Amino acid sequence: MNDASHGKTRFRVGGMDCASCATKIENAVSRLPGITEVGISVSAGTMIVTHQGPAPSAAISKQVKALGYSVAEVGAARTAAPTAHVHEHGPNCSHDHAGHNHSHGDHAGHDHAGHNHSGHNHGDHSGHDHGAEAANVAGTGHDHFDLDDGPWWKSRKAKLTIACGAALVAAYAIGQFLPQIGHWAFLAALAVGLVPVARRAYAGAVTGTPFSIETLMTIAAVGAVFIGATEEATMVVLLFLIGELLEGVAARRARASIRGLADLVPKTALVEEGGTTREVAADTLQVGAIMLVRPGDRVAADGTIVEGSSTLDEAPVTGESVPKSKSAGDDVFAGTINTDAVLRVRVTAAAADNTIARVIKLVEEAQESKAPTERFIDSFSRYYTPAVLVVGALVAILPPLVAGGDWSEWIYKGLAILLIGCPCALVISTPAAIAAGLSAGARRGLLLKGGAVLEGMRRVTTVALDKTGTLTEGKPKVTDIIGIGLSEANVLSRAAALETGSSHPLALAILGRAKADGVPIPPATASKAIAGKGVTAKVGGEEVFLASPNAADEMAGLSAEQKARIAAFNADGKTVSVLLVDGKVAGILAMRDEPRTDSISALARLKDDGIATVMLTGDNEATARAIGKGLGINVRAGLMPDDKQRIVRELQKQGQIVAKVGDGINDAPALAAADFGIAMGGGTDVALETADAAILHGRVSDIPDMIALSRTVMGNITQNITIALGLKAVFLVTTIMGITGLWPAILADTGATVLVTANAMRLLAWRGR
- Helical pair 742-761 and 424-443, crossing angle rounded to 10 deg: 20
* Rg of the chain in Å (alpha carbons): 32
Residue pair 476/392 in contact (Cβ under 8 Å)? The answer is no
* Non-local CB neighbours of 695 within 8 Å, separated by 6+ positions: 445, 446, 447, 661, 678, 679, 680, 681, 686, 702, 703, 706
Residue pair 746/239 in contact (Cβ under 8 Å)? The answer is yes
Q: What angle do CA 536, 540, 543 make, to 5 degrees?
A: 30
In three-state form (DSSP H/G/I as H, E/B as E, the rest C), the secondary structure along 392-407 is HHHHHHHHHHHHCCCH
Helices of type H across 145-229? 156-177, 179-206, 213-226
701: helix, coil or strand?
coil
Residue pair 110/148 in contact (Cβ under 8 Å)? The answer is yes
CA distance 482 to 477: 15
CA distance 526 to 389: 91
CA distance 164 to 510: 75
CA distance 9 to 75: 6
CA distance 175 to 152: 32
Q: In the sheet where 268-273 sits, what is the strand order?
A: 276-281, 268-273, 290-293, 343-347, 303-307, 331-332
| DSSP annotation string for 445-505 | TEEESSHHHHHHGGG--EEEEEIIIIIB-SS-EEEEEEESSS-HHHHHHHHHHHHTT---H
Residue pair 372/455 in contact (Cβ under 8 Å)? The answer is yes
485 beta partners: none
Q: Is position 466 annotated as part of the catalytic site?
A: yes
- In the set 297, 466, 619, 692, the catalytic residue is 466
585 beta partners: 580
- Upper half-sphere CA count for residue 42 (Cβ side, 13 Å): 32
CA–CA distances in Å: residue 124 to residues 74, 84, 262, 349: 12, 13, 8, 14
* Non-local CB neighbours of 198 within 8 Å, separated by 6+ positions: 214, 218
Q: Which of 433, 447, 493 is nearest to 713 (CA)?
A: 433
User: How buried is 548 (Cβ within 10 angstroms: 0-12 exposed, 13-18 middle, 19+ buried)?
Assistant: middle
CA distance 145 to 84: 27
The set of catalytic residues is 466
